[in-house]
Amino acid sequence: MSVIQIHTPFVESNPLDLTGRLADYFGRIERMNVLNLGAGRCDTPISEQVLRIPCETLVSIDTHEPALADLKKKPSAAKMNIFVEGDIRSAFDTFKIIDLVIALDVIEHLELEDAKKLIERAKQVARERILIWVPIGDCPQDPYDGNPNQLHRSTWTAEMLAEMGFDVTVYRGMHKHFNPPVDAAWAVWNNPTTRSVFEPSDSQGIVA
């Protein structure tokens, strides 16, 4: 059964703490293969932490070549980095063995049905978890930075994500740069048939 929790901002020491959240989920994460959907430049308070994950392999996929070019210049704690310029909706046609799928401020940029299909495909591939950070409720955004994909095309609720099997933690008024402030949520899907992340993982085998 999925769980929905509602928090006022900063009820935790830091709701934006991605690395701490991963440590709680996995303990040691050195053997994980991680797929970062819509990676962009990894320049937000949450996404920049992706580059600090000391995982086996980090696959970063994005449609916007300038953002990906900037990302390639940044240091990463991953043992191996793979960069893919392309549509995130086709990511799972190539990458078949992934422990963790991350989508940070991503699914709202897709049409609702496309996003749902992407999530269902991710469930087929993620051996451990899917971790999503998403605005909750109405959160309009136009394209910017020369990137038409920055447009927000879908609106999400905690109930929608829970119905898809995610545990959801909502933070009220988290996005204060909107007027009025917009809620945000962590949504976590746990693979019910997962094997231990501590078993040896073949990083060379993540590409089909």
CATH of the domain at 143: 3.40.50.150
Pairing mode, if any, of strands 80-85 and 57-62?
parallel
CA dist., res. 113 & res. 111, Å (int): 6
Of 69, 55, 156, give the one whose Cα is nearest residue 101. Answer: 55
Of 154, 135, 147, give the one whose Cα is nearest residue 68. Answer: 147
Write down the pLDDT at residue 146. Answer: 65
> Is 203 contained in some domain?
no
> Is 208 contained in some domain?
no
> Is 207 contained in some domain?
no
Write down the pLDDT at residue 7. Answer: 64
Write down the pLDDT at residue 138. Answer: 76
Q: For the chain, what is the domain count?
A: 1
> Is 107 contained in some domain?
yes
Alpha carbon of residue 101 to chain centroid: 6
The boundaries of the domain holding residue 83 are 4-195
For the chain, give the number of residues: 208
What are the mean pLDDT values of the chain's consecutive 10-residue runs (208 residues total)?
A: 64 74 82 94 94 95 93 97 93 87 93 95 94 86 63 87 95 80 92 58 47
Write down the pLDDT at residue 200. Answer: 36
